[in-house]
Amino acid sequence: MPGTSTFHPPTAPRPCGPSYGAGMDIRLDGKTALVTGGSRGIGLAIARAFVEAGASVMLSSRRADGLAEAKQSIDGPNGEHAGAVAWHVANAGDPAQARACVAATVERFGALDILVNNAATNPYYGPMVDIDTGRADKTVRVNQTGYLEWVQAAWHGAMADSGGAVLNLASIGGLSVEPGIGWYNVTKAAVIHLTSQLAGELGPRVRVNAVAPGLVKTQLARALWEPAEEAISRRLPLRRIGLPEDIANAALFLCSDAASWITGQTLVVDGGALSMPSGGIS
């Protein structure tokens, strides 16, 4: 009909990779990255994007089997990336294991140029006023204190001498209010401030930035998106829930030399959710 049109939203993000349009070639050749929570979801997507852009990557998480599967998926069917990927088991909330993982990365690849703090936990869903101390402490230990401890390990283990970049995974929940995951979001708000603070302290040697994803189709967030994916998508300006590759694209940019004059910033990648009165989710 005249005056009407049909909008067909994209079903997938632009593929991760080194090339992003005329005049912009994002590469990480010669760089070494360490990605926590790298065995699945956003962490795995970031690791894959980094390897495809020329980096070597150490994957870290709590389970050896998941890490082995993740490495195999990045290696490629012909093993073309096999030499660029390694893995090391580490609990993101244990500072001694963080230091050991950083040391293993330097030993394996000879350097550590990029740290991606991606591992997170959310053991409680419900009103924040009813959360028990045990689960509250666990969330802070992994999502907040753990991020600081991994940066400390990277700084003292490599970056104080050679410089580098840190990327922290925050959340739009740290910039808004949502029911059910309030305490998780408090830790993500802390990550946003931690990012600014560390950028001020570690510059000019190390750049520190964050990405604040909206709702992304990951295992961690399954309880939020799976029951009402279509309804949530209709409320978002871009009409779809995010995919891990959406966040990986932003991570690749912020950790590359294309962002060499950016530090202390939090980049929101949410399909427009924060532009909506209810944050596009609830």
Instruction: Copy the structure tokens of residue 124.
Output: 């409680």
| Residue 124 annotated as catalytic | no
Is the N-terminal amide bond of 204 cis, ω within 30° of 0?
Answer: yes
Q: Exposure of 71 by Cβ count < 10 A (0-12 exposed, 13-18 middle, 19+ buried)?
A: buried
Average pLDDT, the chain: 91
Give residues with Cβ within 8 angstroms of 140, minimum separation 6: 187
Instruction: Copy the structure tokens of residue 122.
Output: 């959310």
- Residue 5 pLDDT > 50, yes or no? no
Summarised one tens digit per residue, pLDDT across range 39-97 is: 999 999 999 999 999 999 999 999 999 999 999 999 998 999 999 999 999 999 999 99
Residue among 210, 247, 206, 211 nearest 48 (CA): 247
Summarised one tens digit per residue, pLDDT across range 91-101 is: 999 999 999 99
Distance (Å) of CA 258 to CA 20, 38, 248: 11, 23, 15
CB 118 within 8 A of CB 36: yes
Is the N-terminal amide bond of 2 cis, ω within 30° of 0?
Answer: no
CB 57 within 8 A of CB 51: yes
- Residue 266 pLDDT > 90, yes or no? yes
Give residue limits of the domains in the chain. 32-273
Residue in 20, 124, 147, 184 annotated catalytic: 184
Residue with tokens 């949410």: 270
Cα four-point dihedral sign 143, 127, 268, 233: positive
Specify the CATH superfamily of domain 32-273. Answer: NAD(P)-binding Rossmann-like Domain (3.40.50.720)
- Residue 140 pLDDT > 90, yes or no? yes
How far apart CA 41 and CA 39 sit, in angstroms, is 7
pLDDT band for position 24 (cuts 50, 70, 90): low
pLDDT band for position 21 (cuts 50, 70, 90): very low
CB 272 within 8 A of CB 238: yes
Instruction: Copy the structure tokens of residue 240.
Output: 């779809």
pLDDT band for position 192 (cuts 50, 70, 90): very high
pLDDT at residue 227, as a whole number: 84
pLDDT band for position 28 (cuts 50, 70, 90): very high
- Residue 280 pLDDT > 70, yes or no? no
pTM passes above 0.75: yes
Residue among 183, 182, 188, 175 nearest 274 (CA): 175
